[in-house]
Chains A and B, each alone.
Chain A
Amino acid sequence: DIVMTQTPLSLSVTPGQPASISCKSSQSLLYGDGKTYLYWYLQKPGQSPQLLIYQVSSRFSGVPDRFSGSGSGTDFTLKISRVEAEDVGVYYCMQGLQLPLTFGGGTKVEIK
Chain B
Amino acid sequence: EVQLVESGGGLVQPGGSLRLSCVASGFTFSTYGMNWVRQAPGKGLEWLSAISTSGHTPYYADSVKGRFTISRDNSKNMLYLQMDSLRAEDTAVYYCAKGVGATHQIDYWGQGTLVTVSS
Contact = CB atoms under 8 A, between A and B. Distances in A.
Interface of A: 37, 39, 41, 47-51, 54, 60, 92, 94, 96, 99-106
Interface in B66-82: none
Which range contains the number of B residues in contact with the other chain? 20 to 34
A66 to B, nearest CB: 20
Interface stretch (B13-21, B24-32, B83-91, B98-106): B98-106
Interface of B: 35, 37, 44-47, 50, 59, 61-62, 95, 100, 103-112
Contacts of A92: 44-45
B109 A99 contact: no
Contacts of B50: 99, 101
Residue of B35, B59, B100, B110 with most partner-chain A CB within 10 A = B100
Contacts of B112: 48
A101 B35 contact: yes
B24 to A, nearest CB: 14
Main secondary structure of the interface of A (DSSP, over half): loop
Contacts of A54: 100, 105, 107
A101 B103 contact: no
B44 A49 contact: no
B22 to A, nearest CB: 12
Nearest to B37: A101
B44 A37 contact: no
24 contacts: A37-B105, A39-B105, A39-B106, A49-B95, A49-B109, A51-B107, A54-B100, A94-B106, A96-B100, A96-B105, A99-B47, A99-B50, A99-B59, A99-B104, A100-B47, A100-B59, A100-B61, A101-B47, A101-B50, A101-B105, A101-B106, A102-B47, A104-B44, A105-B44
